[in-house]
Structure 1
Amino acid sequence: MASTVIPVELRAEVEVLWDHAQMHHEARTVDAGIGLGSHDLDVPVYTAELYHRGLFPRIVFSGGNAPGTTELFPRGEAVHFRERAMESGVPGDAILVEPDATNTGENIDFTRALFESTGTLGDIRSVTLISRPYQQRRAYAICRKRWPEVEVTCASRAVPLDDYVAGIGDVDRVINTLVGDTQRLWVYPALGWAIEQPVPDRVRKAFSRLVDAGFVRRLHPEQVGMRR
């Protein structure tokens, strides 16, 4: 059985990355909510809650499958997310499905193309990206680079770190993904895939300590500037 306990000796480093990964945006009214596919089924549930609060009139769930989600969502992340949102009371005609994206860049590109194909791209001037908490900053940077015309807000359910880990049920998976998302904050701009963002020294030091502790499974293969 997978552990759900953060190692005591690494808790401070995990908390640093967890806090930095979140944008801490205030919820606001936007033209569309975009639920980013992942292993986290709270994304469609929270997207439904924001919809019911009247923060956006339409939703796109984007995602096919990525490593680790095929068994969870055999028909694709976006399809399962749409079904979960409808179980939470969102009408089906308020939801579009983008079923092909396999990474966050494709989430953005394919969602934009979907709006264009439906003749509604001109109506989308602002979006909220709903994601797992530690995907926020990376998703924001990618969206600003690949869809610069829209104003971007990020949202995830506010949940304590320990509660989030317990909900996922696997602390190793959470820390590995958190480390990988942090690394992408400088790898992706170097590759031209995202805007540059400041990464404080405390974040880089926490990242390096977790890499040294063996949390390397989700590192980007390019590993540009991994130790910067």
Structure 2
Amino acid sequence: MISVRDRADARCVWAYHLMGHEARACSVVVGLGSHDLGVADVAVGLYRRGMAPLILFTGATSPTTRERMPRGEAVHYRERALELGVPGSVVLVEPRARNTGDNIRFSRAVLEEAGVDVSSVLLVSKPYEERRAYATASMWWPGVDIVCASAPMTFEEYVTSIGDERLVVDMLVGALQRLLVYPDQGFMTRQVVPDEVTAAYERLCRSGFTSRLVA
């Protein structure tokens, strides 16, 4: 169990990570690989709503997905989409990306090679990765409208789906740290972080939610 204060701070950080975009028709749905097959489900839902004529899944494997998705995140996402009835002809795979920057750069290259004219992207990620995905895509895919989407879940619902509240808070903290430090390294565009979000992040760090921080 975590404290009431820590849980309130986690909700604050969770809300900041959500971009609050309204889904609209785009050139393509791009699903960012992770441990969460729910990303594939959201991408399929957007396709079925007519939000894009094409889906691209991107992602290799990571230490957290190697056992669960041995054929690679993007491949497993595609298999999930096919299970849900999406025609294979509209699902592309980018199987090499190992970080968010790779996801964007490699997806862009695959679509260019396929001759797909992209003016807008529905970018699907885990809920707490929306803002990081947006900031990264804004850096590596300039001139393209980016609309972020994820499973419509509250912090509490996501904790229930994962089954480990401390791990979820660690991931929220890690995602925010990257938003703070990666712009200086040229990995993403800088996002405005409200003072109350920064304060919540710092308190969570002091409470020991640091396992997902980068050096």
**Fold in common (TM above 0.5):** yes
CA pair 7-79 structure 1, distance change in 2 beyond 3 A: farther
- Which residue number corresponds to residue 133 of structure 1? 127
CA deviations on 1:122-176 (whole Å, 9 max, x unpaired) are: x101001100001000110110011102100000121121111111222222111
Q: After the TM superposition, which residues 188-203 of structure 1 pair with which residues of structure 2 at under 5 Å, given as runs?
A: 188-203=182-197
* One-letter code aligned to 1:196: R
- Which residue number corresponds to residue 100 of structure 1? 96
Q: Does 1:78 align with 2:70?
A: no
* One-letter code aligned to 1:77: E
Q: Distance in 2 between matches of 1:35 and 1:58?
A: 11
What is the alpha-carbon root mean square deviation over aligned residues?
A: 1.1
For residue 217 of structure 1, report the CA deviation from its aligned partner: 1.2
Match of 1:164 among 158, 168, 190: 158
- Which residue number corresponds to residue 226 of structure 1? none
CA deviations on 1:23-52 (whole Å, 9 max, x unpaired) are: 000110000000001111110011111100
For residue 206 of structure 1, report the CA deviation from its aligned partner: 0.8
SS of 2:56's partner is strand
* One-letter code aligned to 2:85: G
CA deviations on 1:179-227 (whole Å, 9 max, x unpaired) are: 1111111211111111111001111111111111111111122xxxxxx
- Which residue number corresponds to residue 210 of structure 2? 216
CA pair 6-26 structure 1, distance change in 2 beyond 3 A: farther
Structure 2: gaps of 5 or more residues? none
Q: What TM-score do you get using the length of structure 1 for normalisation?
A: 0.91
Q: Distance in 1 between matches of 2:76 and 2:164?
A: 21
CA deviations on 1:56-104 (whole Å, 9 max, x unpaired) are: 0001100001231111111111111111111112111110001110110
* One-letter code aligned to 1:168: I
- Which residue number corresponds to residue 62 of structure 1? 58
Q: Taking every aligned residue pair, what percent have the same amino acid on both sides?
A: 49
SS of 1:149's partner is coil
Moved >4 Å (runs of 4+) = none
- Which residue number corresponds to residue 206 of structure 1? 200
* One-letter code aligned to 2:188: A
- Which residue number corresponds to residue 174 of structure 1? 168
Q: Does 1:87 align with 2:83?
A: yes
Q: Does 1:46 align with 2:42?
A: yes
For residue 6 of structure 1, report the CA deviation from its aligned partner: 5.3
Q: What TM-score do you get using the length of structure 2 for normalisation?
A: 0.96
- Which residue number corresponds to residue 143 of structure 1? 137
